[in-house]
Amino acid sequence: MKWQQGDKYYIKGKLGDLSFTISKSMIYDKVIYELWNGSKWLYKSENVEDAKRKAIQYHQEQSASIGSKA
């Protein structure tokens, strides 16, 4: 999965049919990264790499869910 810098506050990526955004914010002097799929919030972490891994995991879960319904 390739991530592209949107601006200094977010990055975006696409994996299969799913688009993800990781937003960056400061909360109580800590940098927080939040993973979004469209307007659906998925995950929050202090480590951007954790959020990226969660995006891949979410994609795999969604693919497995679709495969089990077929």
- Strands 3-7 and 10-15 come out as antiparallel
**pLDDT interval class at 67 (50, 70, 90):** low
Prediction pTM value: 0.86
* pLDDT at residue number 62: 87
pLDDT value of residue 35: 97
> What integer pLDDT is reported at residue 66 of this predicted model?
64
Q: Rounded distance, CA 64 to CA 24, Å?
A: 29
Model confidence over 10-62: pLDDT tens digits?
A: 999 998 889 999 999 999 999 999 999 999 999 999 999 999 999 999 999 98
pLDDT for the residue 68 = 59
Contacts of 64 (CB under 8 A, 6+ apart): none
